[in-house]
Structure 1
């Protein structure tokens, strides 16, 4: 990949026309994150995990009629969290957004969820809170947003430490911008044995996740016992893990290219989380393009797709690095674990 630099915010919102909103409930230890465009954007999706939780993702397949969507939702809450999409739809409809049919506007809002129902939060709600969280996240959408313990990353956990919401961007030498947004709630570990070095370290830019550098010890094959599994007191963790992400560019991609962008971005997930794409994860990536005009040729697309994978690796590490401690957490944060090193 040609020389590139991170964008001015080092967030997915360096891609022109995109905004991100977060909403969370610290009592429940959960939240929702929304990616919304100034106008509808082209999108597709690819799932590599064995236990996904999704809404409206079938229409994103390359052979389906719908080309563009109004927003994408990443949420905590497992199946309950899918209701966040309804809150975003309500908010967009009130703005006059959506696919027009007769006198109606129907916002197209696909979404995906993580399992964060066992994380030290109090899950005693009488009414599903995620519809309201979705609306609130949409209302807060901005070009700047919090990462780490925020939005859909509020209650996330990786194998060895708290997970979180991460983002990163790259500006390619030809001016094209690529960005990633991710919720890290993986079965696998984002750090090598010893908890100091990120698997994503070779891709780090400007010490954006601490600058510890790559692990000099080679030959890692079997991850250490998961603190997450021990903390959750589960013999099996089916459905209790997932890393969900969005990779976006301002280049004019066709829907088929957005699908391939999502496929390639999974390489970045596998470089940053070990193991990835297990039967017990719901790993998923949305591919997004905001640009208009003739789709880019294969040579340029190859550079964009490679950048998307690198961006996602960096965003995963940043999400965990930026996590902050909260009362009743089941796992420590990366920074607290390494405070004395």
Structure 2
């Protein structure tokens, strides 16, 4: 697994089925974001607009706990600040830590979301990883997530955290996903890998056009989060464009996707300085690794059962 110079760590609250995942970035990481879901929860995403004046970030956080989980970024900022990492100001360095959430409150009753200490612990895990890939499945921000909620919670299957990578023209392209989709996750051939089912099998076979929440509890509780990182040198504009292109990977692997009930968000990071690789080559690889990361997330969780 090629992590494109990222260090990744989880903090998982097993008893509460929640947690967070931190991606520590190398110096001078350029980032972009594309938010297509209609119910996102995030922090510091506005700074990733190419028109904004901050050009580098220091970490990305994925967290459970819905909006309560945004507190994890405080712990990540503390970890980075203790190491004098952050955007320069005349007073002190300010770590730039874009953060996005998934709604997993049903899994823990909503009373035990991740905290700043959870974020700090995930940073320590990333530090100790020595650049090795973390676990996949029901860990970190993927600990309490699920897929196939379009038919209600009685028919869901586990989501999770997954990764995939490839090397193209000497450039690493890496994707990580936390999959908490209202839709089903599909195999490469379009069959269902994980999603809504009952004792007779996949519900989509019965009614393929009615994949949307009919019960109020299934609405506004879903999101797929993705980080795409590459060692290709990208401008801030190109990083934002890469985030846009990577959403194609969501559309390939999840159906339906980008609904009124999802907060689908993709961050794209340029973590290296390899020049000369055509952007479309990198983007095509990102689409592939994103779809594979989504499939690996649910496959890993299913294998844990």
In which range does the TM-score fall when normalised by the shorter chain?
0.7 to 0.9
Report the CA distance between 1:161 and its aligned residue: 1.0
> Which residue number corresponds to residue 242 of structure 1?
223
Pair 1:118 & 2:109 matched? no
Offset of residue 148 of structure 1: 0.5
| Larger CA deviation: 311-320 vs 97-106 | 97-106
More moved, 141-150 vs 42-51: 141-150
Secondary structure in 2 matching 1:65:
coil
Structure 1 residue 334: Cα displacement: 6.3
Q: CA RMSD in A?
A: 2.5
1:138-177 paired onto structure 2 within 5 Å: 138-141=123-126, 142=129, 143=131, 144-159=133-148, 160-172=156-168, 174-177=169-172
Distance 1:86 1:296 in 2: 37
CA contact (8 A) 2:140 2:161 kept: yes
CA distance in 2, matches of 1:221, 1:290: 44
SS at match of 2:27: strand
TM-score normalised by length of structure 2: 0.86
Residue segments in structure 1 that go unaligned for 5+ positions in a row: 1-8, 200-218, 324-332, 337-341
| 1:239 counterpart SS class | coil
In structure 2, do the counterparts of structure 1 residues 124 and 49 end up closer, same or farther at CA, with 3 Å as the change threshold? closer
Alignment of 1:157-236 (within 5 A): 157-159=146-148, 160-172=156-168, 174-191=169-186, 197-198=192-193, 222=208, 234-236=215-217
Separation (CA, whole Å) in 1 of partners of 2:40 and 2:285: 25
User: 1:251, 1:22 → 2: CA distance?
Assistant: 26
The equivalent residue for 1:261 is 242
Q: Check whether the contact 1:164–1:183 (CA below 8 A) recurs between aligned residues.
A: yes
Instruction: Indicate the structure with greater helix content.
Output: 2
- Whether 1:68 and 2:64 are equivalent positions in the alignment is no
What's the TM-score once normalised by structure 1's chain length?
0.77
2:286 partner SS: helix
1:237, CA displacement in angstroms?
A: 2.8
1:43 touches 1:259 (CA, 8 Å); kept in 2?
A: yes
Superposed CA offset, 1:77-98 (max 9, x none) = 1000111111100110011111
| 1:91-116 CA distance string (max 9 Å, x none) | 10011111121241110001100100
- Is the CA contact 1:147–1:319 (under 8 Å) kept in the aligned structure 2? yes
Change in CA separation of 1:124 and 1:148 when aligned onto 2, cut-off 3 Å: same
Q: By how many angstroms is 1:65 displaced?
A: 1.0
Aligned to 1:315: 293
> For 1:36-47, what aligned pairs fall within 5 Å after superposition?
36-47=24-35
**Structure 1 residue ranges, 4+ long, deviating more than 3 angstroms after superposition:** 122-125, 195-199, 223-226, 333-336
Which structure 2 residue ranges, 5 or more long, are not aligned? 149-155, 195-204
Match of 1:135? 120
For residue 27 of structure 1, give the secondary structure of its aligned residue in structure 2: helix
Task: Give matches, 1:96-107, under 5 Å.
Answer: 96-107=84-95
**Size of the alignment, in residue pairs?**
283
The residue aligned with 1:52 is 40
Cα-to-partner distance string for 1:257-284 (whole Å, 9 max, x where unaligned): 1011000000000100000000110001
Contact 2:20 2:114 survives alignment (8 Å): no
| Displacement of 1:124 | 3.3
Cα 1:334/1:187, change in 2 over 3 Å: farther
User: Does the C-alpha gap of structure 1 residues 63 and 220 become closer, same or farther in structure 2, counting only changes over 3 Å?
Assistant: farther
Which of 52, 69, 79 matches 1:81? 69
**Larger deviation: 77-86 or 35-44?**
35-44
Q: 1:26 aligns with which of 1, 4, 14?
A: 14
User: Offset of 1:296 from its aligned partner?
Assistant: 4.3
SS of residue in 2 equivalent to 1:304: helix
